[in-house]
Structure formats: C-alpha cells, structure tokens
Structure 1
Amino acid sequence: MSEHDHLAAPAHDEDDIGPGLATPGVNPKAAIGSYALGLVLSALLTAASFYAVRTHLIWGPAIPAALIVLAIAQIGIHLVFFLHMTTAPDNTNNVLALAFGILIVALIVGGSLWIMAHLDHNMLPMSEVLKRQR
C-alpha cells in the first residue's frame, strides 16, 4: 500500500441514493397510491374553496378566513403527499429550508404592509393636496 491510498474515493454507501432513483424497499404501487390520494385530496380542497365562495352557508365576512384555512390545508397536503415532508431525521434539512423560506416571505409581506400603512398614515388627504395646488 502506498501513502496515498487513504485519499482514494470512499466505497459507495448503499443507503446513499440520488434524487429520482428507485429507493430499495419501496413498493411502486404504494407510491402511486400516495400520489393519487394527494391528488384527490387537493382536488377536494380546491372544490371546497370554490363552494365556500358560492354558498350562503358561510357568513360573508368569514369567507376570506375560510379560504385561508383551506389554502393552508392544501399546502399541508402538497408538502406531505407530493414533497414527502415528514418528521424523519433525514428530512431535517428540508424542514429547516421550508421554515427559513416561510420566515423570509413573512418578513417581506409584513414589512411591505407595515411600510404601506405608515405611508398611508403620513400622507395628506386628497382635499388638502388640491387646496395647496390652488
């Protein structure tokens, strides 16, 4: 053995599988069934949101809240059934990336709303602007 043998590429780890490659021990029919269930649940939630807008069963001012709840439920369906987000230890990086993305979006949306509210509060009413132009 030479002194450079320890620099050689490590042996292939059987558990290390690239994205899109067949995972050993996973039944393809079960995977397709999971995707089909996710599709059906997503379609039901979409239909429920259209129904919530058109029906008189929900009090008018509560419709936006109902749509938000249905949207969050659909996000959860997509994360679990299509993106395979679980609480497994090997999924920690995905969950942290999702949480960071949600934080950034919340900061951008919240900051934009804060700035617009501040600008609206500090602007002159239109009648004052017209008086000053005369």
Structure 2
Amino acid sequence: MSRHEQIDTGDSAPGEERINENEPASGVRGYTLGLGIALLLTAAAFWVASTDLVWGPAVPAAIVVLAVAQMGVHLVFFLHVTTGPDNTNNVIALAFGVLIVLLVIVGSIWIMAHLDHNMMMSPDEMKQRMR
C-alpha cells in the first residue's frame, strides 16, 4: 500500500473530513449561501423589532424563532454539524451542550424565583422591625 492509499475506516480527524460536493453546505458556495441566509435572518429580526405589522406580544417569540434559525444556519453552514455518519459525535456533543445550558438557565430561574419568594417580608414583619 502506497503512502497515498489509505484504508477508509470511517473515522477522520478534525479538518480531514472529505468534502461532498453534493452537499449545499460545502465549499465556498456553502459559505456564501450560509452568509446570505444569516444576513437575511438578521435583517428579518431587525425588521420584526421595528415594525408595527407584527402583533406586539408576538415580537419576542418571532425574534426567538429567528435566533434559533440563525443558530441552525451557523451549525450547518459554518460548523458543518450535520447528521451524517461521520458527525454522530458532533451531534451528541451539541445535544449534551444544549441540555447543560437549558439546565443552568432553568435552574437559575427556579432558584431566583424561590429566593425572591422566601426573602420577601410580610407587611406585619416590616411593621415589627420598624418599632
């Protein structure tokens, strides 16, 4: 076996992945397409925030949806996290990271809500302390 012939075991080191030209997220064309979609999503978020055409209480939800779409674009087009057989570990690591972030956010909100409730004095307690 020569130096250029290698056995394909399915594993590849970071940066050694083979680029499949049939994928929309590969090469310069993929980066350009990802940039265009990211710019459109950013412009849409600014438009939603500044227009009166979107119902006021729905604006935060629309911005969150656009932000999630923006994260998806970045993951696929720039970080190349896909569901292909060679990216299984990337997807699992991403899911674990999202789980940890959600646990930290939900736990922080829960702790802050309970601290606020437990630390609040009743009006009777406030009157007794002022005497």
Q: Which range, TM-score by smaller chain?
A: 0.7 to 0.9
> How big is the shift at 1:55?
0.2
The percent identity for this pair of structures is 58
TM-superposition CA deviations, 1:13-49 (whole Å, max 9, x none): 454654335847659xx51000000001001101110
Q: Aligned with 1:86: secondary structure?
A: coil
Going from structure 1 to structure 2, the CA distance change for 1:25 and 1:89 (only over 3 Å counts) comes to: closer
Unaligned ranges ≥5, structure 1: 1-11
Which of the numbers 88, 105, 108 marks the counterpart of 2:104?
108
Question: Is residue 2:8 matched to residue 1:20?
Answer: no
Residue aligning to 2:84: 88
Which of the numbers 20, 34, 50 marks the counterpart of 1:38?
34
Partners of 2:48 and 2:59 within 8 A in 1: yes
Q: Aligned with 1:56: secondary structure?
A: coil
* Cα distance in 1 for residues equivalent to 2:88 and 2:17: 21
* Cα distance in 2 for residues equivalent to 1:69 and 1:39: 18
Q: What TM-score results when the alignment is normalised by the length of structure 1?
A: 0.77
Partners of 2:19 and 2:27 within 8 A in 1: no
TM-superposition CA deviations, 1:100-126 (whole Å, max 9, x none): 000100110000000111112222248
* Cα distance in 1 for residues equivalent to 2:60 and 2:19: 44
Going from structure 1 to structure 2, the CA distance change for 1:126 and 1:33 (only over 3 Å counts) comes to: farther
Q: What TM-score results when the alignment is normalised by the length of structure 2?
A: 0.79
Unaligned ranges ≥5, structure 2: none
> How big is the shift at 1:61?
1.2
Which of the numbers 39, 50, 53 marks the counterpart of 1:54?
50
Larger Rg: 1
* Cα distance in 1 for residues equivalent to 2:35 and 2:20: 24
